Amino acid sequence: MTVVTDGAVLRDALGLLKDREEVAERLLEASVKHSFDPDTELDWDAPPAPDKWFWPPELVSLYDTPLWRRMPEEQRMDLARHEAASLASLGIWFEIILMQLLVRHIYDMPVTSAHVQYALTEIGDETRHSKMFARLIRTSGTPTYAVTRLHHNMARVMKTISTTPGSFASTLLGEEILDWMQRLTFPDERVQPLVRGVTRIHVVEEARHVRYAREELRRQMVTAPAWQRRLVGVTSGQSAQVFALSFVNPKVYTDVGLDRAEAVAQVRASGHRREVMQTGAKRLTDFLDDVGVLRGAGRRMWRSSGLLA
């Protein structure tokens, strides 16, 4: 589907849309069957295995750079532990933003509809996730890695005023790339059992969130006025730039005894890292392209974020 320009295209696009209530009812059924309480589901007291990674090495930002090759294995594993904590911190930030966006989304809707009931269910999932990520950070013995004050405040504005399609485009950005990494993490036997458990729970519950946000964004891109569709491209392009910059907090490098400027420069120059980020974003950028978000200035901003080839 491309940007809607006339009645015929609009009718075609509407043919692709699934019934909002039907989608929500199916997601509610799946939530009853596959929801987890991380506090009882996972063994939080087991000591970490000394020979296991907190994050798959190929997904660590410095992997395969000259600096990485010079680092002893112990320092690489330490960096993986700090990057896992940085991603968990980022995850909590996204989820707190998302919860507010969802509350704003349903504020004017019929409260007994399945669509609203599912949004409330998703908020419930995210409260458990954020607590689970925080507990993982505490258990890992690492600091919490907050985003910069500027990004923190930019998101404050975004989550307060963003239009609904913009909210769902940002939601997907927050969910899909981390989800791609987590799908590689939970089956990986080199990884700490606790991290595998956390990522498995998150992947199962997140699949529903992605479905809900995608269906809603597709629906809204068909009905939104042209100015709003163009705005979504630009705001999501800006979110992609913030996302790429804040993805791994550079403080992790100093915390494991590396030179921050050198590490950041090597990550920027890393072909492996670029490929990881673009592959991780591919499922999302293909979808955004399909629903008409990646046009004009917005597309250029996505490119400059490094997430779109």
Q: Which residues bind Fe ion (CB under 5 A)?
A: 129, 206, 209
Question: How many whole angstroms separate alpha carbon 276 and alpha carbon 177?
Answer: 10
Closer CB to Fe ion, 209 or 299, in the complex: 209
Closer CB to Fe ion, 206 or 216, in the complex: 206
- Residue 113 · residue 22 · CB < 8 Å: no
Shortest Cβ 204–Fe ion spacing (Å) = 11
Shortest Cβ 226–Fe ion spacing (Å) = 29
Shortest Cβ 96–Fe ion spacing (Å) = 11
Q: Which of 251, 269, 271 is nearest to 260 (CA)?
A: 251
Could you please report the per-residue DSSP string of 97-108? HHHHHHHHHHTT
Closer CB to Fe ion, 174 or 306, in the complex: 174
Shortest Cβ 263–Fe ion spacing (Å) = 28
Closer CB to Fe ion, 27 or 267, in the complex: 27
Amino acid present at 114: A
Calculate Rg over the CA atoms of the chain.
Answer: 20
Closer CB to Fe ion, 78 or 126, in the complex: 126
Shortest Cβ 122–Fe ion spacing (Å) = 7
Positive/negative CA dihedral, 184, 189, 191, 192: positive
Shortest Cβ 129–Fe ion spacing (Å) = 4
Closer CB to Fe ion, 91 or 250, in the complex: 91
